[in-house]
A and B are shown apart, each in its own frame.
Chain A
Amino acid sequence: MESAKEKAIKIIRSYDGPKIRIMEVCGTHTHEIFRQGIRKLLPENVELISGPGCPVCVTPVGYIDEAVYLAEEKGVTITTFGDLVRVPGSRSSLADVRSRGSKVKIVYTPLDAVTYAKNHPEEEVVFLSVGFETTTPSACLAVEQAAAEGLKNFSILTANKTMPSAYRMLKDSVDVYFYPGHVTAVTGTGLVKSLVDEGISGVCGGFTASELVTAIAVAIKKFQEGKPFFVNCYPRVVTEEGAPEAMALVDKMMEPCDTEWRGLGMIPQSGMKLREEYAAYDARKHFNMPLIEGKPNRACRCGEVLQGICRPVDCPCFGKACIPEHPVGACMVSNEGACSAYYTYGDI
Chain B
Amino acid sequence: MKTVTLAHGAGGKQTSELIDRVFKAHFANPDLTADDAAVLTPPAGRMAMSTDGFIVSPAFFPGGNIGKLSICGTVNDLACMGARPLYLSCAFVIEEGFPMDKLEEIAAAMEKTAKEAGIKVVSGDTKVAGKGQVDGVFITTTGVGEIMEGVSTSGDFAKPGDVIIVTGDVGRHGCTILLEREDFGIEADVTSDCAPLWGAVEAVLNEVKDVHVIRDATRGGVGTVLYEITGQSGVGIDLYADRIPVADEVRGVCGMLGLEPLYLACEGRLVIMAPEEHAEKILAALKTTPYAKEAAVIGKVTAEHPGRVVMTTEVGTQTILAQPGGELLPRIC
Query: Inside 8 A of A9's CB, which chain B residues have their CB?
Result: 315-316
A344 to B320, CA, bound (A): 8
Give B contacts to A, CB under 8 Å: 183-185, 241, 255, 258, 260, 305, 308, 310-311, 313-320, 322, 325
B258 A336 Cβ-Cβ under 8 A: yes
A40 B322 Cβ-Cβ under 8 A: no
Kindly list 20 other residue pairs between chains A and B, CB separation below 8 angstroms, not including A38-B313, A345-B319.
A5-B315, A9-B315, A9-B316, A31-B258, A36-B317, A37-B311, A37-B315, A37-B318, A40-B317, A40-B318, A40-B319, A41-B317, A108-B184, A325-B325, A335-B258, A336-B258, A345-B322, A348-B318, A348-B319, A348-B320
Interface stretch of the complex, out of A195-203, A207-215, A302-310, A313-321? A207-215
Q: Which residue from chain B places its CB closest to the CB of A28 in the assembled complex? A: B258
Q: Which residue from chain A places its CB closest to the CB of B184 in the assembled complex? A: A108
B319 A34 Cβ-Cβ under 8 A: yes
A35 B318 Cβ-Cβ under 8 A: no
A198 to B305, CA, bound (A): 49
Q: Is A239 an interface residue (CB 8 A)?
A: no
Q: Is A172 an interface residue (CB 8 A)?
A: no
Q: Which residue from chain A places its CB closest to the CB of B325 in the assembled complex? A: A324
Query: Inside 8 A of B322's CB, which chain A residues have their CB?
Result: 35, 344-345
A199 to B131, CA, bound (A): 65
Contact for B314 among A112, A209, A325, A344, CB less than 8 A: A209
Least CB distance from B320 to A in Å reads 5
A207 to B259, CA, bound (A): 12
Q: Is A109 an interface residue (CB 8 A)?
A: yes
* Centre residue among A31, A35, A40, A210 by max chain B CB count within 10 A: A35
Least CB distance from A33 to B in Å reads 10
Given A28-B258, A109-B185, A347-B320, A36 and B313 contact (CB-CB distance below 8 Å) = yes
A37 B313 Cβ-Cβ under 8 A: yes
Least CB distance from B328 to A in Å reads 11
B319 A108 Cβ-Cβ under 8 A: no
A36 B319 Cβ-Cβ under 8 A: yes
Query: Inside 8 A of B255's CB, which chain A residues have their CB?
Result: 207-208
A335 to B326, CA, bound (A): 12
A208 to B242, CA, bound (A): 12
Give A contacts to B, CB under 8 Å: 5, 9, 28, 31, 34-38, 40-41, 108-109, 112, 207-210, 213, 324-325, 335-336, 344-345, 347-348
Least CB distance from B45 to A in Å reads 44
Q: Which residue from chain B places its CB closest to the CB of A344 in the assembled complex? A: B322
B320 A36 Cβ-Cβ under 8 A: no
Query: Inside 8 A of A335's CB, which chain B residues have their CB?
Result: 258
Least CB distance from B134 to A in Å reads 21
Pull 8 A–B residue pairs with CB atoms less than 8 Å apart, ordered by A. A35-B313, A35-B319, A35-B322, A36-B317, A37-B311, A38-B317, A209-B314, A336-B258
A209 B315 Cβ-Cβ under 8 A: yes
Given A108-B184, A109-B185, A38 and B315 contact (CB-CB distance below 8 Å) = yes
Query: Inside 8 A of A108's CB, which chain B residues have their CB?
Result: 183-184
Query: Inside 8 A of A38's CB, which chain B residues have their CB?
Result: 313, 315, 317
Question: Chain A at the B interface: mostly helix, strand, loop or mixed?
Answer: helix
Query: Inside 8 A of A347's CB, which chain B residues have their CB?
Result: 320
A324 to B324, CA, bound (A): 11
Least CB distance from A160 to B in Å reads 20
Least CB distance from A137 to B in Å reads 13
* Centre residue among A5, A9, A37, A207 by max chain B CB count within 10 A: A37
Contact for A210 among B185, B260, B314, CB less than 8 A: B314
A35 to B322, CA, bound (A): 8
Query: Inside 8 A of B319's CB, which chain A residues have their CB?
Result: 34-37, 40, 345, 348
A345 B314 Cβ-Cβ under 8 A: no
* Centre residue among A5, A213, A348 by max chain B CB count within 10 A: A348
A162 to B91, CA, bound (A): 55
Query: Inside 8 A of A37's CB, which chain B residues have their CB?
Result: 311, 313, 315, 317-319
Given A31-B258, A345-B322, A213 and B315 contact (CB-CB distance below 8 Å) = yes
A304 to B314, CA, bound (A): 31
Query: Inside 8 A of A41's CB, which chain B residues have their CB?
Result: 315-317
Query: Inside 8 A of B320's CB, which chain A residues have their CB?
Result: 344-345, 347-348
Least CB distance from B232 to A in Å reads 22
B315 A36 Cβ-Cβ under 8 A: yes
Given A325-B325, A345-B322, A348-B319, A109 and B183 contact (CB-CB distance below 8 Å) = yes
Query: Inside 8 A of A345's CB, which chain B residues have their CB?
Result: 319-320, 322
Given A37-B319, A347-B320, A209 and B185 contact (CB-CB distance below 8 Å) = no
Query: Inside 8 A of B317's CB, which chain A residues have their CB?
Result: 36-38, 40-41
Query: Inside 8 A of B184's CB, which chain A residues have their CB?
Result: 108-109
A344 to B325, CA, bound (A): 11
Query: Inside 8 A of A207's CB, which chain B residues have their CB?
Result: 255
Query: Inside 8 A of A213's CB, which chain B residues have their CB?
Result: 315
Least CB distance from A49 to B in Å reads 19
A65 to B305, CA, bound (A): 43
Q: Which residue from chain A places its CB closest to the CB of B318 in the assembled complex? A: A37
A2 to B260, CA, bound (A): 28
Least CB distance from A80 to B in Å reads 15
Least CB distance from A236 to B in Å reads 12
Query: Inside 8 A of A31's CB, which chain B residues have their CB?
Result: 258
A112 to B260, CA, bound (A): 25
Least CB distance from B259 to A in Å reads 10
A207 to B254, CA, bound (A): 11
A335 to B323, CA, bound (A): 11
A28 to B259, CA, bound (A): 11
